[in-house]
Amino acid sequence: MKHEHAKTATQNACKLCNPLGACLAFRGIENCVPFLHGSQGCATYIRRYLISHYKEPIDIASSNFHEETAVFGGSHNLKIGLKNVSEQYKPEVIGVATTCLSETIGDDVPMILREYRKEFKNGSPMPILIHASTPSYQGSHIDGFHAAVHAAVKTLAVKGTQQELINLFPNMVSPADLRHLKEIFGDFGVPVMVLPDYSQTMDGGPWGEYHRIPPGGTPASAITLAGSAKASIEFSSTLEASKSAAEYLKEAFGIPTHRLCLPIGIKESDKFFDLLETLTGKKLPEKYEDERRRLVDAYADGHKYVFEKKVILYGEEDLVIAMTVFLREIGMVPVLCASGGKSGLMKKRIAELVPDMDELGIKVREGVDFVDIEDEAKILQPDFLIGNSKGYTMSRKNNIPLLRLGFPIHDRFGGQRMHHLGYRGTQELFDRIVNTVIEQRQNASSIGYTYM
């Protein structure tokens, strides 16, 4: 007799918790300490995940909820925690993110922060307090990331005389990509405010002595100037306007907003560089012309290896959308595009960017876990998987090669130094994909190949 098992709960989520993304974003603000209003376990879990991927120490403060706090509220704990962090770390900014527990009991964090400012104002400089609401029972780590960025801009940006400044909200990309983006703006000769910028705080050099707060990050003063920029660029295809930092600046200060897909692949990178030419009035620097030409040549050289290969792709919605466009550009078929996110926009955006999606049989699933993805894999029989390390168990169990991409990458080294964006990042990504296909062929051969 066949027994049907109805799965009523997430078994292995294809996402991480909301405040994790907020802590990463706060880490991209100079002299900032991330602070979780909740239990110590939340801070420990998030520290473990971030350290394993970025290989950098990270302190995350906590208001340290316990049974009594959960019943009577965490106001006292939050105020004492902020006082202790201020005295011990002497930060310029404290980023306060909420957790499930503090959100569930209904702590009014903005009110508590106002009380704290009054009670502990003693004439000495008080850290800037930025509050982001990030309950884990809603959304995912990418929602917490955007919530922290939005909160930072809303707290700090002010209107001023317009400057030749561009705001860049790059999404949750690697430190290597952040460095590359800043290099691009530098080559165009235009000042840029990148938020967040954890290119150094989450991928720095060795220290001669321990830093409680590592150097690097976007200065609070630079975020203040965001209200005086000539334009904002935001890499996101699914972010709601009410949660968008760029849209807030447009509404509050009239700053034009340009929202793009993550610039992965030639087409999307062309859109990004074309926009920079328009905003700056300057021609694309020759070095990027060269990078584009080399990438086109690589597409031609590697096409025979990747053409019509079937892929299951999973991760954050914006990354999945950009990667889907790129995979179609190189002739691969993403038979399943999956995410734990629930914006409700992923399928629509992919359909807009990949018009032949239905003809190709591309399936799009939102709000899934890895059990769902594995069930699909048994039917779709992909050649390999593309996504983060959380898919390794599925890869091993079903003997499907996994190309690691995104966050978290816990079982390989150097995830924080992977490029994905622009012609340069696309080139590195394309090379990795082609080599994954070649390695699969070699491993599957009874005699092996020494020349491809």
Write the DSSP assignment of 27-48 as a string of letters: HTBTTEEEEEES-HHHHHHHHH
Beta strands in 118-241 (DSSP E): 128-132, 166-169, 192-194, 231-235
CATH architecture of the domain covering 166-204+213-280: 3-Layer(aba) Sandwich (3.40)
By the 8 A CB rule, do 147 and 243 touch? yes
C-alpha separations of 131 from 55, 109, 113, 330 in Å = 27, 8, 9, 42
- At position 96, the amino acid (one-letter code) is V
Q: What pLDDT sits at residue 5?
A: 54
Rounded distance between C-alpha atoms, residue 68 and residue 161, angstroms: 50
By the 8 A CB rule, do 282 and 188 touch? yes
Mean pLDDT, each 10-residue run in order, the chain (452 residues): 55 87 97 93 92 94 82 84 94 95 87 92 85 91 97 96 95 97 97 98 91 95 97 96 96 97 98 98 97 98 95 97 97 96 93 93 94 94 95 94 94 93 98 93 82 74
What one-character DSSP code corresponds to residue 369? B
Q: What pLDDT sits at residue 139?
A: 86
3-state SS, residue 98 = strand
Q: What pLDDT sits at residue 137?
A: 86
Q: Which CATH code fits 286-444?
A: 3.40.50.1980
CA atoms within 13 A on the CB side of 452: 16
Angle at 247 between CA 243 and CA 253, to 5 degrees: 130
pTM above 0.75, yes or no: yes
C-alpha separations of 426 from 235, 300, 320, 358, 387 in Å = 16, 14, 14, 26, 16
List the structure tokens of 254: 């009239």
Q: Determine the topology of domain 18-155 in CATH.
A: Rossmann fold (3.40.50)
The burial of 202, by beta-carbon neighbours within 10 Å (0-12 exposed, 13-18 middle, 19 or more buried), is given as buried
What are the start and end residues of each CATH 3.40.50.1980 domain in the chain? Answer: 18-155, 166-204+213-280, 286-444
